[in-house]
Structure formats: C-alpha cells, structure tokens
Amino acid sequence: MRTIEPLGTNILVEPMTIPEKTDGGIIRPQQWTQPSGEAKVVALGNALPDWAQRLAVGDIIIYKWINGQEVNFEGRQLRLLDARELLGVIKA
C-alpha cells in the first residue's frame, strides 16, 4: 500500500466535516457541511519545531480550514499543513 510521508515541518491530516444531521435529528443545509476546522493527524514531517514534536498520529488538531494544500490520495481527502498553521490540539 502506498503512503504519503510529509517532508520538513509539514503535517498530513484528514479533515473532519460537520455532520449532515445533528444529534437531535435536524438535517443541516448542504452549505453548512463545510469543514469543521478540526482534523485527525495522519502523518508527521521529519523536522517539526520543538513545540510540535509532542504531536502523534491520531491526535485531533484545530486549524484554519482554508489553510494548507488539499490532497486526494487513494479516495481520501487529505490536507498537508505547515506546523505553523496549527491553532491547537484537542486533548481527551
């Protein structure tokens, strides 16, 4: 199976979308199903800044959903972000 290995300070993420239906059963209009600004980390570059080295594959991060480069890889919509584009990490 092929993989993408981010270079340098790049991070490969899989964006999460806002669900089409709320927990209460309300269906959202299609224009409201834009990316949520949250993503799951898929792979990490090999030269991350010190503060970003605590990130791990599977972490959920927050970013400006307009940033980064979209990548369609083997049917998955992924995004390459520079570590400086991260706004936060969601901790359990």
Domains of the chain: 10-20+27-90 (2.30.33.40)
Q: Coil, helix or strand for 28?
A: coil
Amino acid at 91: K
The mean per-residue pLDDT over the stretch 55-79 comes to: 93
Q: What is the pLDDT of residues 7-62, one digit of tens each?
A: 999 999 999 877 777 778 777 776 655 667 899 999 999 999 999 999 999 999 99
Give the pLDDT of residue 14.
95
Give the pLDDT of residue 49.
94
Contact 39, 14 (CB under 8 A): yes
The larger pLDDT score, comparing residue 24 to residue 75, is at: 75
pLDDT of residue 77 exceeding 70, the answer is yes
pLDDT band at 68 (very low <50, low <70, confident <90, very high): very high
Q: Distance between CA 45 and CA 62 in Å, rounded? A: 17
Give the pLDDT of residue 80.
96
Contact 55, 89 (CB under 8 A): yes
